[in-house]
Amino acid sequence: MKLPGFECDFFKNGLGYSNSLKAHTGCVNAVSYSKTNGSRLMATGGDCTNIYIWDLYRDIEDAIPIGAFSGPTKNIFTLEFNSTDSILYCGSNDSVIYKYDLGGGIGESLRHPRAPSDRLDHLDEIDQIRKQSPSLRQISHASSLSQISAHPTHPSLILSASSDDELQLTDERVDRGANIATFHTQSEWRDVKWHPTSDHLFGCCDSLGGVYLNDIRKGFDGYNMSDGAFTVSTNPFVRSVAVMQYSGTLTLTNAHIHAAKEGLRHRRLDSSSMSFNNTGDLFGVVYQHAYPTIYSIREQNPLAVLTGDYTPQGERVQRREDTYSTACTTKHCSFQGDYLATGSDDFRGYVWKVPPRTTMMDRRRVMSREEMDEGGFATANGYAYDVRSAFSSGASASASDSTAPETICLPALIDRPAFRLEGHASIVNSAMIHPSLPLIATSGVEKSVKVHTPTPFSNKLHKIPALDKRTPPSRQMGDETGSSRRDFLLALLSSPEDSHDADIEEDPITINFFDSLLRRDREVDIWNDDEDDEDDKDDQDDQDNDQDDDMDDDGLSAPLSEDSIDIDELYPV
């Protein structure tokens, strides 16, 4: 990652050092950076329903938050600063959008930082922080908030997506009650992001393979961005007004998976999150039970899929070794410069260096259905392909009839991450690349947030040898035991309030609970999974009539070709 004014790539050798920020008493689901002043502030929130603000310009060794907010009654899933950093938005499981004023206490803390106390321990210092209440509560959604996205230049515009079928545009310049327009889909919204350079464009993705680029001038009919006027209320359906719909459907054929029935099968993917790169010409989508996928905004077919079949050192991951996967929890990704980062079920964060668009286009292949039926995907142009990354191509993937797609897209394979982020004891849900500093923050099931850096990040190095600050390897999950099974049952029987005590240290019951969930979710096969959303699928199209077929659990985890994209080849030292 090249920072402004520097020619070197600070991520070239990975981020081998880390510090843990401790304040939360439950899982940390949301991490967000401020937009101005070098993105100095970081907001974190999660299951304990408190929001903490961190100053990344200070020593992060044993750091104390500079501010805190309260208000949500259920788990926090999304945090977002507006374009001027005057407002922090929060969305949670209670369906409410909370708005916090950052002008008072936070500004004072930045101007006059509080010196650490020699008389108080870490937890007592956190308890001394006064928690501010929200300045506004917006109750417009009927279900839990998946994501809030603030406009990159207009501080009064936000997009919010909920886990029902509604995506809302709110303009705070308009009187409340008349300032909200709505998009609909036929499934659950997973994410929404404003385009970083275009005032009118935004991307969104849902739980049934829907990945869209939209224009607020087209979707929200009659909306005038200059004065925030809503002249017509349309409540449009996203597929009827999207500027572009991208392929989010996998294709399978029995020529390569022995258990598949004769003919092609299709499965719309459940997305977790999406992120544009800095220029907005590329974006990445993280899918459940599949791989992060890179798209160009200009065309429907994906450019590349990102896997962990090789270690960053170039060694092939063996069959029983843990590597990148996402089956158990929602993952949040970030895309800065040439790098895309996200969390993984193997207790690591993964960071890939994304090749230039032209390179990915050269390696990608689009073929006919007949070629794929005949095994034509095995090799092409000197590169091998794998059926698990075969997408229904372009318009055929979104066709309303039930015929099989005429063309299949085989994206380029980037099967070696640039580096991995270690040190976690459980699932990593978020890996957020800082916009200007050489650091990545990771969080998930654990109560702490890890800040990964290329060098030690502490003013106490004269007391602590630098070698001692290197991040240890992530914990390896063992086999289920009687004790872990007991913890799983205890967690199931406990209320959410019982699991969030005042302790900032890790809870072994929570760790064991997610270990047990992970053991079960790893066995889920998306080609076998009988979901209860058949009505939603029938409303969109009939590409999914293959759910009764059986397939070996290893079908989606077979190793990719060794002839795929190699980072050393593309980016020689």
E strand or H helix that includes residue 100 = strand 97-101
Would you tell me how many other CB atoms lie within 10 Å of the CB of residue 316?
A: 14
pTM of the model: 0.85
Which CATH number covers residue 186? 2.130.10.10
Is there a domain that residue 117 lies in?
yes
Provide the residue count of the chain. Answer: 573
**What is the CA angle 235-271-527, rounded to 5?**
120
Do the domain assignments include residue 531? no
Does residue 522 fall inside a structural domain?
no
How far apart, in whole angstroms, are the C-alpha atoms of residue 183 and residue 165?
A: 8
In a domain, 291, yes or no: yes
Tell me the pairing of strands 449-453 and 440-444.
antiparallel
The DSSP 8-state label assigned to residue 562 in this structure reads: T
Q: Which residues face 67 on adjacent strands?
A: 53
Among residues 534, 221, 540, 209, the alpha carbon closest in space to that of 391 is found at 209
DSSP class of residue 106 equals H
pLDDT 10s per residue in the chain (573 long)? 665 444 568 898 999 999 999 999 999 999 999 999 999 999 999 999 999 999 999 888 888 999 999 999 999 999 999 999 999 999 999 999 999 999 866 766 776 666 666 556 777 888 889 899 999 999 999 999 999 999 999 999 999 999 988 899 998 887 766 678 888 888 899 999 999 999 999 999 999 999 999 998 876 654 555 555 555 545 667 877 889 999 999 987 654 454 444 455 788 999 999 999 999 999 999 999 999 999 999 999 999 999 999 999 999 999 888 999 998 899 999 999 999 999 999 999 999 999 999 999 999 988 887 777 676 555 556 665 666 788 987 544 444 444 544 688 999 999 999 999 999 999 999 999 999 999 999 999 999 999 999 988 766 655 556 556 789 999 988 777 777 677 767 766 665 555 555 688 888 888 888 888 888 776 555 555 544 433 333 444 443 333 333 333 333 333 333 334 443 443 333
Residues 235-241: contacts with CB under 8 Å, at least 24 apart:
235/182, 235/184, 236/183, 236/184, 237/183, 237/184, 237/185, 237/186, 238/167, 238/183, 238/184, 238/185, 238/204, 238/210, 238/212, 238/214, 239/185, 239/210, 239/212, 239/398, 239/540, 241/183, 241/214
- Whether 364 is in a domain gets the answer yes
Structural domain count, the chain: 1
Q: Which residues contact 319 (CB under 8 A, 6 or more apart)?
A: 559
- E strand residue ranges, 103-199: 131-132, 136-138, 145-150, 157-162, 166-171, 180-184, 189-194
Strand 76-81 and strand 51-55: pairing?
unpaired
Strand partners, 18: 452
At 190, the amino acid letter reads: R
The residues, any chain, with a CB within 8 Å of residue 342's CB and separated by 6 or more, are 273, 286, 292, 326, 331, 332, 333, 334, 349, 350, 430, 431
Range of the domain at 469: 17-476+553-570
46 found inside a domain: yes
- CA pair distance 529, 250, nearest whole angstrom: 14
Asked whether residue 269 is assigned to any structural domain, the reply reads yes
Asked whether residue 444 is domain-assigned, the answer is yes
